[in-house]
Structure 1
Amino acid sequence: MSPMRQVILMRRNFGSFGMLQQQRTKLHMTPQLQQAVKILQMAAPELRAFVNQQLEENPLLEQASDWSAEAGMGLGAGSGSVSSSISGSGVGGFRSGSDYDRLQHVAGQPETLEQHLLEQLNVDMDVDEAVKRIVRYMIGNLDASGYLNLDIGLIAGELEVEGELAERALRVLKRLEPAGIGARSLTECLRLQAERLQGRHPLLLPLIEGKGCLEDIAASRMHRLKRYLKASESDIHEAIAQLRTLQPRPGAAFQGGRPSYVVPDVIIRPAGEEGEFAVTLHEAVFPRLLINAEYERLALDANRTEETGSFLHAKRNAASFLIRCLEQRRTTLLRVTRTIAREQAAFFRSGPAQLRPMTLLDIADKLGLHESTISRAVSGKFALTPWGTYELAYFFPSGFNKGFDDAVSAESVKARLKELIRSEGDTPYSDQQLADVLADEGIPISRRTVAKYREAIGFASSIHRKR
């Protein structure tokens, strides 16, 4: 960064122009500094792609022989080492030994709804080929929920078949699993499932097909349901409980898509019995680069004034700078994470409910760095903790009573709300009552904030929580 730059100004003086030379202090970000900042901010997959590109473009760069992409399956036991892999039997655990088969932990390709239905059609359905052709067309036009939104007449015209044959094909489609596939509406979808249900409640079909009954259930209008069905409240509750076992979107189970994976950048785990936590880098996501010794010797011996020598020197300087940037990235991330572990020690001991409000500036002040540096260091980075894998940005929540011993984060408030709602019994708390309870516990919170948090953790309003 260059602090001083000479600036030549044109100044108008009594109708004439003149040249005035001044020195001003001005921050200037050099291309090298821009690259260092960019590398610090890169998430692990982006960094890996960037390093691969540099390895292709710079002949002086080479990857360390003790680091390989296969290390992505493992966890670094400490700086500069790669050890055992993540265990599937417990969060933060490790597994090693020759009995560990990595192929058992490779995700298979999920079966799609179309594949699932076509297999049934081709294997289990004893229908003629003309009908199967129409069913295949219908399967290809199902939406993500498993509904068929095309008009039968349009399908018949498109395939140039009789309408009766298209209707027959639709009946075949509706016989496939999962039940409800090929429905034209929510009511039809639920009815198709209810008709196959063993031990079906006598009120189940009337609830599904009755005019406005589904809306009354959603709004908890029990008085209208009792009047329409002429049944007791307990019977209606039993039928509603059975209704809720049905799937309004039968195709949703096949929407897994391509699985995504998160490889943690750092590992935070207990160290000793003092309640302290050790922070180590996951070496698999930190490419280790070296300068090729043979090319470096050629660069040192070459004449810089010649084209070859100039090229080798430029590439040597670029390689050296990249290695320094990667090392600086490692150091900064390690320092930031260690400070987070100290400041959020209650979280690592007891879980998310103990997360305290914290800002980027809090960490920046403790490390003597700029707030923007902390922001870049935590952006897109993940930590493996005893409670699961979390993005580092998760440890900077907003909250209440910040600066006091009883400070709590928004996540802590949500956890407390969840406890209150689950223990409320037959008389649900209103949002205002929940706010009053939290205020009595020293958490000043408005009713509107309670409503926002309640919706975020997946609970309906007090009216809809009533039985």
Structure 2
Amino acid sequence: MSLGPRLDFRQTQQLVMTPQLRQAIKLLQSSNMEVTAFVEEELERNPLLEREESSAPAPAATVEPDCFEAASSATMPAENAAPTEADWSGQYESGEALYPSRGGRADAWDEDGRSLEEIAGERPRSLRELLAEQVSLAFGDARERLIAGQMIALLDPAGRLTVPDAAFAAALGCDEALVTSIRRRMQRFEPTGLFCADLRECLAVQLAELNRLDPAMEALLDNLHLLARRDMAGLLRVCGVDAEDLAEMVAEIRRLNPKPGALADAEPAPMVVPDVLMRRLPDGTWQLELNPETLPRVLVNRGFHATAQTGTRNKEDKAFLAEKLQAANWLVRSLEQRANTILRVAAEIVRRQEGFFRHGVGHLRPLILRDVADELGMHESTVSRVTANKYIATPRGTLELKYFFTTAIAGMRGGESFSAEAIRHRIRDMVDAETAEDILSDDAIVERLRAEGVDIARRTVAKYRDALRIPSSVQRKREKSVPAL
């Protein structure tokens, strides 16, 4: 065997990511605000680009629902309920949905090597971000997180939530009692007194937190109009206290925060702007269209390019024009491809989750990225990028596209699979329907689910129960055996 030097030829394949390819991938996974900021920068840098002023219709698609009626009717029986997260962990656990990522700087598209602590230190966290963190800690059920997220989105600048619980329940397809329960828990979030319908309720919540909501104080809150008129004689009469006690009660009222949302969040948070708009047509089909407000429209000024190309003989100028023409063409094609890809993926998601849009979260079907990718002839990574930071406005609220991808639980004897979210909601419904004489153990829940066709293990039920913050059957029996006071 020769040990001397020699010259060999080898042929290999290697994917080289050009700067434009990296930018195209970044463009696909970026939010609409980031894309708008990037396009504005390109308009400033490239003289061959100009903004399209015409109001061309946005791309649209129609989704036929007929083939999904049978699938939705075969879904595990469950009470109609609202969708539960978007990942409403993605939208309301991290707060990213309410506060899209920053844009407008040239280096916003590149890795800058900063730590998370440095990024977080750029600005104080907003009220909605703080509330989103508290929601993730307080609610283990994804359905509850969705309802809580919708409440956060509808807070007015003072921290009031004037939408009645009945209207909330009707819009989201869930029980009014569940909405009321979530709202009352969120009223104790920091700062205390948010999510109340009026001033009286706001002050009552804060006093209850301080353990000062006694009958005399309730009488004072019921007669705040007398306090506004400084009718102390009338207040003494209705509260049944002496002048010294009334003075202390009024002082306590004045120490409370009548508008807890105003001081906690000086600047109103921008609302989520959906990328896709969805509505139901009279014939029962769903129409999807891209939101024209989130579609930056640019054109290549070929007339200017031809004039400049003809009027110069300088090689450097010609090279500059060629580079800018290539960049302009690439941006126009990339924006068009991004829009069409988002619409195709959204239409496929709606097609597969037809039961959810008609009947609620109990009919959410198992779905993974590969399902959509295979159907559309895309790579899974492409679907993942498309669904990141993208939102769709539906009759059940504005949801992140990633929300619709859920884990599958196998059915009995090879039957239809079930969504993990639907299983969690079913467990919650079973526990809510318990009586003091009939407390379900984990084994009993497993038996009931298997009777409904769900092949689930006891440890999985226990894991879901813990995630929903449901106590053990022993603890629930102990709590329900205590007579109500």
- Shorter-chain TM-score bucket reads 0.5 to 0.7
| Runs of 5+ unmatched residues, structure 2 | 61-82, 84-152, 161-188, 193-201, 220-255
Aligned residues with identical type, % of pairs: 36
Secondary structure of 1:45's partner? helix
Pick one of 274, 287, 298 that aligns with 1:264: 274
Contact in 1 for aligned 2:24/2:334 (Cα 8 Å): yes
Indicate whether 1:26 and 2:14 are aligned. Answer: yes
Secondary structure of 2:447's partner? helix
Pick one of 279, 287, 297 that aligns with 2:296: 287
Other-structure match for 2:59: 79
In the alignment, the residues of structure 2 paired with residue 251 and residue 443 of structure 1 have an alpha-carbon distance, to the nearest angstrom, of 50
In the alignment, the residues of structure 1 paired with residue 313 and residue 451 of structure 2 have an alpha-carbon distance, to the nearest angstrom, of 75
Q: CA deviation at 1:300?
A: 3.8
Other-structure match for 2:324: 315
Amino acid of the residue matched to residue 350 of structure 1? H
In structure 2, the CA distance between the partners of 1:180 and 1:398, relative to structure 1 (3 Å rule), is closer
Other-structure match for 2:77: none
In structure 2, the CA distance between the partners of 1:304 and 1:372, relative to structure 1 (3 Å rule), is farther
Other-structure match for 1:432: 443
In the alignment, the residues of structure 2 paired with residue 264 and residue 321 of structure 1 have an alpha-carbon distance, to the nearest angstrom, of 25
Contact in 2 for aligned 1:353/1:412 (Cα 8 Å): yes
Other-structure match for 1:254: 260
In structure 2, the CA distance between the partners of 1:198 and 1:276, relative to structure 1 (3 Å rule), is closer
Contact in 2 for aligned 1:438/1:444 (Cα 8 Å): yes
Taking structure 1 as the reference length, the TM-score comes to 0.58
Q: CA deviation at 1:363?
A: 1.1
Secondary structure of 1:365's partner? helix
Indicate whether 1:43 and 2:43 are aligned. Answer: no
In structure 2, the CA distance between the partners of 1:358 and 1:323, relative to structure 1 (3 Å rule), is same
Pick one of 452, 457, 463 that aligns with 1:441: 452
Amino acid of the residue matched to residue 14 of structure 2? K
In the alignment, the residues of structure 2 paired with residue 27 and residue 328 of structure 1 have an alpha-carbon distance, to the nearest angstrom, of 21
Other-structure match for 1:276: 285
In structure 2, the CA distance between the partners of 1:413 and 1:64, relative to structure 1 (3 Å rule), is same
Other-structure match for 1:159: none
Indicate whether 1:418 and 2:424 are aligned. Answer: no
In structure 2, the CA distance between the partners of 1:380 and 1:447, relative to structure 1 (3 Å rule), is same
In structure 2, the CA distance between the partners of 1:423 and 1:106, relative to structure 1 (3 Å rule), is closer
Amino acid of the residue matched to residue 287 of structure 1? P
Other-structure match for 1:407: 417
Q: CA deviation at 1:305?
A: 4.6
Contact in 2 for aligned 1:144/1:251 (Cα 8 Å): no
Amino acid of the residue matched to residue 43 of structure 1? S
Amino acid of the residue matched to residue 409 of structure 1? S
Secondary structure of 1:438's partner? helix
In structure 2, the CA distance between the partners of 1:191 and 1:376, relative to structure 1 (3 Å rule), is closer
Task: Figure out how many residues of one structure are paired with residues of the other and give that number.
Answer: 311
Contact in 2 for aligned 1:302/1:309 (Cα 8 Å): no
In structure 2, the CA distance between the partners of 1:407 and 1:299, relative to structure 1 (3 Å rule), is farther
In the alignment, the residues of structure 2 paired with residue 291 and residue 107 of structure 1 have an alpha-carbon distance, to the nearest angstrom, of 43
In the alignment, the residues of structure 1 paired with residue 210 and residue 272 of structure 2 have an alpha-carbon distance, to the nearest angstrom, of 37
Indicate whether 1:56 and 2:31 are aligned. Answer: no
Summarize deviations over 1:263-317 as a string: whole Å, max 9, x none: 11112322343x4322211121111111235532334425475333322221121
Q: CA deviation at 1:347?
A: 1.5
Amino acid of the residue matched to residue 295 of structure 1? F
In structure 2, the CA distance between the partners of 1:330 and 1:145, relative to structure 1 (3 Å rule), is closer
Contact in 2 for aligned 1:77/1:280 (Cα 8 Å): no
Contact in 2 for aligned 1:144/1:252 (Cα 8 Å): no
Aligned CA RMSD, in angstroms, stands at 3.8
Q: CA deviation at 1:405?
A: 5.3
In the alignment, the residues of structure 2 paired with residue 180 and residue 388 of structure 1 have an alpha-carbon distance, to the nearest angstrom, of 28
Secondary structure of 1:339's partner? helix
Q: CA deviation at 1:409?
A: 0.6
In the alignment, the residues of structure 1 paired with residue 458 and residue 435 of structure 2 have an alpha-carbon distance, to the nearest angstrom, of 21
Pick one of 368, 386, 391 that aligns with 1:377: 386
Amino acid of the residue matched to residue 27 of structure 1? L
Secondary structure of 2:296's partner? coil
Contact in 1 for aligned 2:345/2:383 (Cα 8 Å): yes
In the alignment, the residues of structure 1 paired with residue 211 and residue 30 of structure 2 have an alpha-carbon distance, to the nearest angstrom, of 51
Taking structure 2 as the reference length, the TM-score comes to 0.56
In the alignment, the residues of structure 1 paired with residue 39 and residue 411 of structure 2 have an alpha-carbon distance, to the nearest angstrom, of 41
Q: CA deviation at 1:325?
A: 0.3
Contact in 1 for aligned 2:203/2:258 (Cα 8 Å): no
In the alignment, the residues of structure 2 paired with residue 407 and residue 305 of structure 1 have an alpha-carbon distance, to the nearest angstrom, of 67
Contact in 1 for aligned 2:355/2:363 (Cα 8 Å): yes
| Runs of 5+ unmatched residues, structure 1 | 1-12, 68-75, 81-90, 92-104, 113-142, 147-176, 200-249
Other-structure match for 1:163: none
Q: CA deviation at 1:360?
A: 0.7
Pick one of 339, 350, 353 that aligns with 2:348: 339
Amino acid of the residue matched to residue 79 of structure 1? P
Pick one of 358, 364, 367 that aligns with 1:358: 367
Q: CA deviation at 1:79?
A: 2.7
